[in-house]
Chain A
Amino acid sequence: MQRRAIIAVLLENEAGVLSRVVGLFSQRGYNIESLTVAPTEDETLSRLTLTTVGDEAHIEQVIKHLYKIVDVFKVQDLAENEHIERELMLVKVRAVGAEREEIKRTADIFRGQIVDVTPETYTVQVVGPTDKLSAFLRALSGGRILEVVRSGASGISRGARVLGG
């Protein structure tokens, strides 16, 4: 059975580490849906979140191979437990005439914010789980979308549990 994994990785914040992670995926033919990375509160560490789709055996192999990278401390599939997932998206849409009101209403439904305005366009910011962002894009009919940028998912587990703890 295929499922989506949202894998959190704690690793050394050093040159070359990211290429090892990305290289692992291309080398082994694993797909990456999204990948985000930034330093943590401890500047010697980075935290990376990547999402991938596969069956249990595949996800287990991905995790084991991530652990094999010498700079990787801790790996966890957040989807195995309750977790919070957030992605940030900016969408530039054509907005003229009656469309302006409609887009505004749709953005409100998705708790989006209009962060930039011109006479012909809106730029809407939406934050949420990846599927909510995709739903927002579907709700805006295709022709009006001029540009989309998504950050990729980040995640953290619910409750007291911490990665690397």
Chain B
Amino acid sequence: MTERLSGGDMLIRALQDEGVEVVFGYPGGAALHIYDAIFRQQRIEHILVRHEQAATHMADGYARATGKPGVVLVTSGPGATNAITGIATAHMDSIPMVVISGQVPQDLIGTDAFQETDMIGVSRPVVKHSFVVKKAEDIPAIVRKAFLIATTGRPGPVVIDVPKDTTDPGVLAPYVYPEKVTLRAYNPAVRGNARQIRKAVEALLQARRPVIYAGGGVVQGNASAELRELARRLRLPVTMTLMGLGAYPGEDPQSLGMLGMHGTYEANLAMHESDLILAVGARFDDRVTNNPKKFCPDARIIHIDIDPSSISKIIPAHIPIVGDVRNVLGEMLQVVDAELPANPVNERARELWWHQIDGWRAENGLNHHLTPKPGRPILPQYAVQMLHKVTRGEAYVCSDVGQHQMFAAQYYRFAEPRRWINSGGLGTMGFGLPAAMGVQMAFPDATVACVTGEGSFMMNMQELSTCLQYGLPIKIMALNNQALGMVKQWQDMQYGGRHASSTYSDSLPDFKTIAEAFGHVGMRVDDAMQLEGALEEVFSPALRNKLVLLDVWVDREEHVYPMAIRGGSMKDLVLARAGEGKGGVED
């Protein structure tokens, strides 16, 4: 006999059947039947946040680190609208997430009832799909569909809006969790077209100056192993987007590092001078291409993506391949195996190409080691290099948005995918700390660092309280330049140094005390000679189970370089502040 459950119990049971282990959320009237259902079970842990935006970023961080969908539960009205920023963040970076929002009872919908918001309407532009529950017995199938849609094809957030009457504990209905659901109009591409794959391999074998442009799709699509194999087999230089970092090991000689607006000199020049670009799971974002009209004039383009609408959206692709990047790269490898003996790579052309790339790298690369000088302010780049050293490059690094984010991306050379967690598409300040919390929830024993700026940190620092409640021993390195540094940099470069509303040094709190007030460990360092020691302490076994916030007072004048020149091509970069060397002290 099938069990009879209330809608609230069904919802939680369906999440259990979906394999969900943790839900991030915040209660309120419309969600209380659901909360009661959570209380009466043990399998799913609920993390009580301090702001719904943080719940979405936690679920997002959890999803980015694990590849599993993150789950959020919020109430109607303000609970739902507070979640929007996090939903939009996940949407822009194609992160699988299921957001359950309470809603007023159906007989009140449309009456401007207390805490009523049209969540489906408000979230529509920033979700992959959404559902409204009409009656309790529909809940299991809706949950199944929501997870299916969130995790397949190009992943993304899915909202389930749940009117309170559908979770009424007094109304029972049969619970049947569907093994299979049909979504007859939904058929995401899986395998790439075999002829296109063959054409792509032929083009790669013939190219004289090929380059890989790997995006977040390689990370999210779990195609890193295949990408590495292909790059090594054909000795291809690899550039990565902000979202793709870690897809290929950052310290490997074939890695040219990040490309785009703040990408490396060698990555951007290699793109510009290439005759063939293999774009994998990337979307030719304007922060990568700069002026599309001047984009890589000699390059033919192979573009592999799960989402057909990403292909030829900005830059026309010569060889488009729609499909799961992992499958497509796997099939390309097979074709390479078959073709290589008869059709070897032009070794001499490859040699010349690498010679050219190594020249750029030697000239202006970021792979120099910075050394601190006594009496000089701490360089933020050096702080990231030290973090890399002290954590042996093995930490999960979650970041916020601003200069510190770019320094982290440039200088923490990620060895593995899913270790670099940041909001690339939306650029959401306030993402870093909650995302790190989601990662730490997923991997309680892992080293999780949050590289943040004091501005971004203040956008969600209330979550320090949540960290105490659940014992999340995150290590926060705040690169404190006492300013909205990235804004200030643009104002320096484009507005004659007029710092409109980008500084607040007189009114900043003492972050060390803040950490302590929340029951954690706070530290401060403002002397470069002390930084490495301070970091050693932060990551020492003695503080292993503690959240530590290290407030690093960095050089307030530092800019992020290279920086793309607006309206130019990819090779048009500012490499240093006028009249300066390469920004800082190096050996």
Query: Which A residues lie at the B interface, using CB under 8 A?
Result: 11-12, 15-16, 19-20, 23, 27, 57, 60-61, 64-65, 67-68, 70-73
Contacts and interface: CB of A to CB of B under 8 A. Distances in A.
A64 B309 contact: yes
Nearest to A62: B309
B125 interface: yes
Contact of A23 (B124, B128, B309, B316): B124
A73 B309 contact: no
A19 to B, nearest CB: 7
A70 B149 contact: yes
Interface of B: 120-121, 124-125, 128-130, 132, 149, 183-186, 307-309, 312-313, 316
A65 B309 CA distance: 6
A68 B185 contact: no
B307 A73 contact: no
A16 B132 contact: yes
A23 B122 CA distance: 11
A23 B125 contact: yes
Contacts of A65: 309
B124 A15 contact: no
Closest 10 A-B residue pairs measured CB to CB? A64-B309, A73-B185, A70-B129, A27-B125, A64-B308, A70-B186, A65-B309, A23-B124, A71-B185, A68-B309
Nearest to B125: A27
B185 A20 contact: no
11 contacts: A12-B185, A16-B130, A23-B125, A27-B125, A57-B316, A64-B309, A67-B308, A68-B309, A70-B129, A70-B149, A70-B185
Contacts of A19: 121, 124
A73 B182 CA distance: 13
Contacts of A72: 185
A20 B129 CA distance: 9
A49 to B, nearest CB: 18
Contacts of A57: 312, 316
B125 A73 contact: no
A61 B310 CA distance: 9
Contacts of B124: 19-20, 23
Contacts of B129: 70
A57 B129 CA distance: 25
Given A16-B130, A16-B132, A23-B124, A70 B308 contact: no
A27 B121 CA distance: 13
Nearest to A68: B309
Contact of A16 (B120, B125, B307, B309): B120
B312 A60 contact: yes
B183 A61 contact: no
A155 B316 CA distance: 30
A19 B122 CA distance: 12
A15 B132 contact: yes
A11 B121 contact: no
A93 B186 CA distance: 48
Nearest to B186: A70
Contacts of A68: 307, 309
Contact of A73 (B128, B184, B308, B313): B184
A90 B183 CA distance: 40
Contacts of A60: 312
Contacts of B120: 16
Most buried by A among B129, B130, B309, B312: B309
B135 to A, nearest CB: 14
A11 B129 CA distance: 14
A97 B134 CA distance: 59
Contacts of B308: 64, 67
Contacts of B312: 57, 60
